[in-house]
Amino acid sequence: MSIRLSDGTSQDLRVRVQGAPVDSYPALPPEVARGTVRRITVVGEAILYRRCREVTEFGTPVLARLIDDMFATNAVAEGAAIAANQVDVDLQLFVWDITDDWGVRHVGHIANPVLDELPAAQRVLAEESEGCLSVPGPYRLVARPDRAVVRGRDMDGNPLVIEGRGYFARCLQHETDHLHGRTYLDRLARRERKAALREMEDTKDSVFARRAARAAELGK
């Protein structure tokens, strides 16, 4: 299925799995059923502030299980994506399950991601609201390029290139930031960062309660 956009181009609305369109896909990724929910690290924990190690062993049951667990944890938290250090694992890996601004759902994982440096002529900044599973509660406006290309490997070590626009581009940049030891709070002015942390303290208990309820709903 495709739709005609206002600029005259068409948009394929099929779900993209690892960047490739598929004709059908379940409401929850299959990894969610296989995975175990892990604790999500919270801002202030050391693992969120250092660059993660590269994935060097591909095609292993350990890596497959980690990806399953990350999808399950992301589903319970109702997130768009989650990085390995957000489940307390020091590896350059993140997964996503997100619907972009045009209604296209993107699902996948990537190891050792590197963002392309976009030419200045192609860098259009968009200031949009952004949150984080490791900063439970607050959202703040963050400026990021509205297009992103990330290159890395899949779980079997095959080369992978993922391109995103709009909200999906923001997601790819946000998660790559995590693997370099940064959260969206690091992109805020000091006063705004302190305000977000105060808000987090006020709201985190209700966020944790929603996650627990969602886990029970999913049988996790």
**Chain position carrying tokens 């919270």:** 42
* Other CB atoms within 10 A of residue 3 CB: 12
Question: In terms of Cα–Cα distance, which of 147, 146, 141 is closest to 129?
Answer: 141
**Chain position carrying tokens 């940049």:** 173
Question: In whole angstroms, what is the distance from residue 11 CA to residue 107 CA?
Answer: 17
**CB-based contact 146:165 (threshold 8 Å):** yes
**CB-based contact 43:200 (threshold 8 Å):** yes
Question: In whole angstroms, what is the distance from residue 134 CA to residue 42 CA?
Answer: 4
Would you name the residues annotated as active-site residues?
175
